[in-house]
Structure formats: C-alpha cells, structure tokens
A = this chain, B = another copy of it.
Amino acid sequence: MSQLVWLRKGTVTSAKGFLANGLHAGIKPGREKDMALVVSVKPAEAAGAFTTNQVKAGPVRVTQAHLRNGAVRAVILNSGNANACTGVRGIADAKRMTVETAKVLKCRPHEVLVCSTGRIGVPLPIRKVLRGIRSIAGRVKPNGGPGAARAIMTSDTKRKEAAVRLTIAGRRLTIGAMAKGAGMIHPNMATLLCVVATDAAVDQRTLVRLTADAVENSFNRISVDGDMSTNDTVLVLANGAAGNTPLRSYDQDLGKFSNALKQLMLEMAKKIVEDGEGRTRVIELTVVGALTDRDAKLMAEAIARSALVKTSWAGGDPNWGRIMGAIGACGARMREELVDIHYDGVSAVRGGVAAATPPGRLKAAARRSRVSIQVSLNLGKGEYRMLTTDLSEKYVRINLGE
C-alpha cells in the first residue's frame, strides 16, 4: 500500500481545522477531566457507527438522528455518566447538550453530535454539564487533542490517540483520532468511543461506506469480555480543510485513503485491547479454513467469549481442549478430525488430536505476553481474525462492583 506516515504526537486535532479541549465539569468526583469538545472550523461531512444493542443511551439516539441532517460542526462528549437507561429524560438531556453547544458555537443543534460514557442508570447532572459546555467552548484550541482524549477516559489507564498522514494528488491529508475503552467497562461503566477527524474532503456517501468498512475491520474485531455497551459510538468527521478535490467512490486514490482510515482505526482498536481490563496477555486469534467467513467469525467469537478458554490464557496454559470444546458448541460447521491448532506457530493439535510436540515447547509459546493462536478447520476458505485478551483474577476484581 501507499506511503503512510504516523505522526509522532498524533491526536484528534492533528488534522487542519479542528480544535478541541477537555475540562472538569464536576460529573466525576475530584478534579478529573470529564468533558470534551471537538470543533471543526468549517462544516464537516460526518458518518458514524453505533452499538447494535437494543438498549441505546440517549446520546446515541440523538447523534443518530442528527447525522441524518448532513454536515456537522462539533462533537460534545462527557465521561463519568453514560446517560443510559435514563428514559425520556436521558434523550432530553442529550438534546439539551447539543442545543447548549450549538448556542455557544453559533450553529444549529443538529450540527452537534453527542457522546456519553460512564455510569449507567443515573440521570446526568445536567446543570453542571451545561455549565461545563459554556466554559469549554471558549477554550478549544488547535493543540487541544490530548486534553480532550484525557477527558473521555473512564477505566482506561492511558490516553488513546493517533494520527496518520498521506498524500493524494499532491495534497497532504491528515487523519487524527482519539478513543476510550478498556473492555467495555468499569463498575457500572460502559463504552467504546472514538472520534476521527480528517482535513480531507470526502463525499458524504463515500465517507459513510468507508467508515462502515473500517469499523468492521477494526473495532468489530476486538473483544475483551464479550459484552456490548449501550453507548458504543465511532464518529468520522471530514472537513475538507486540506483543499483536495472531494474523494468519491470512483476515485482511483480512494483505496489509499480508505487504507489509512482502516489502519488508524485498527491502531486505536489495538490500544483498547492492550489497555483491556485486567489483561495479562493479548491474543491474536485467527480462524482459517472454515466453510464460510461467517462460520470463521462465529468460531473466533465463541473462542474469544469462552470463560474457560480465557482463564487458560491467563494461566499461560496451552489448553487446546477448551478451544475444541468452544468451536464445537458454537454452531459453525466443523469436522473434529480435520482440526489443526497452533500456538505461535507451534503445533498443538493435528487432525483433531494432540500433536507430537514436546509439551515444554508448547507451554513456552502459550506463556508469551502476546500469543497468536491459529485454528485451521481444513474445510473451506472462510477466514476471520480478531484481537482479544485473557480473563484474569484482576478482571474479576475490577468488575466486582462496590
């Protein structure tokens, strides 16, 4: 693929024409930042991907509606409260956040998108939130990305930001991003959030397609605990400040841009897995040779969700019997006697039974901090890859609650 440059301190404000910042509005206790604003200096085309959970937070419903109205100017975000399972009031509060942001930015409410993350089931402290909006609006700045990225953290242990640069037809295009998520969760906490901001001009329908494709190949391929949040939101804003001719579906250079967007989202997804709650290992899981891609996906997700498999990963135990059990029970088609399994290239299973590998070699492979596990069905050409984590005692401790 084409030349892709990763910026050294890449963040959501790396692209031209984006301002951002974060502040403490008083939603979280103490002095932790809990509110972020990302502003585009000119109207930006926008696209989004959202949780498919039927239980959707108020901000998700409002953002989905606003995206149907065309170009946007800003994204207002808060942590410390997910505004989920808060009923009609939650939707009204999310709307008020967009109205207040629009007022101070002098744009229309439907040009503002909104995201929340944090505790579920508790109404937003809306006065504090509105006061926070009024004070953050005057503080957004071109290098404010890190402050914004800090303000959306919940159980995350570090900020998640990155940016890439590429050149198309002599124009330098930049794509920056910030994200949060460390599993889906913390006690009562939920969510993966990601805001991508690019100065490329991209035709709106093309942007929608590229976003869906990039999300499918990044965020939809990671799993920490198999649970799906009520607030998951990925937003892509393209403001055209780079001055390129708008990218369209038939552009021969579209692939370059599409690849850059995918790589960036994949990088953000990796940061989330690496910061996974209580994780001691990152597992690169590959299923090949399934009858269909769908079967391969079913199997990969079944493995990544199995408590038994994940605890064996925590123990560094190459317990392939549990993987066999998980794929056999998931509904995808298989033939036990054809299955091969490798841990970091070391054969564990051959033809459905234990391979003749010295146990010591296999154990050494399973004990690395990053393990690639490949399951080969030897039935067809279906493939699926994903990144996941182990299930440790620490994960349980983090999630016990009060």
Contacts and interface: CB of A to CB of B under 8 A. Distances in A.
A291 interface: no
A216 interface: no
Contact of A55 (B84, B328, B400): B328
Contacts of A52: 329
A391 B307 contact: yes
Contacts of A226: 306-307
A349 B311 contact: no
Contact of A328 (B53, B119, B188): B53
A219 to B, nearest CB: 15
Interface in A373-402: 391-393, 395-397, 399-402
Interface residues of A, number: 67
Nearest to A88: B337
Nearest to A337: B87
A52, A228, A305, A307: most-surrounded residue (chain B CB, <10 A): A307
B121 A320 contact: yes
Copies in the complex: 2
A69 interface: no
Contacts of A190: 321, 325
Interface string A190-201: 100000000000
Contacts of A325: 53, 55, 120, 184, 190, 227-230
A395 B352 CA distance: 28
A316 interface: yes
B319 A401 contact: yes
A73 to B, nearest CB: 30
Contacts of A307: 225-227, 307, 391, 395, 399
A315 interface: yes
B353 A121 contact: yes
Contacts of A326: 227
Interface string A321-351: 1101111110001101100000000000101
Contact of A315 (B56, B82, B400): B400
B321 A85 contact: yes
A88, A333, A396: most-surrounded residue (chain B CB, <10 A): A396
Interface of A: 52-56, 82, 84-89, 119-122, 184-185, 187-188, 190, 225-230, 305-308, 311-312, 314-317, 319-322, 324-329, 333-334, 336-337, 349, 351-354, 363, 391-393, 395-397, 399-402
15 contacts: A53-B325, A54-B327, A55-B324, A55-B329, A55-B336, A85-B336, A184-B325, A190-B325, A227-B307, A228-B325, A228-B329, A305-B305, A307-B395, A311-B399, A393-B393
Given A187-B319, A315-B402, 19 more contacts: A54-B333, A54-B336, A55-B334, A56-B328, A85-B324, A87-B351, A89-B353, A188-B321, A226-B306, A226-B307, A227-B322, A228-B325, A230-B324, A311-B399, A312-B399, A314-B400, A315-B399, A317-B400, A319-B401
Interchain residue pairs A-B with the least CB separation, the first 9 = A317-B401, A120-B321, A315-B400, A55-B328, A315-B401, A311-B399, A54-B328, A228-B329, A53-B328
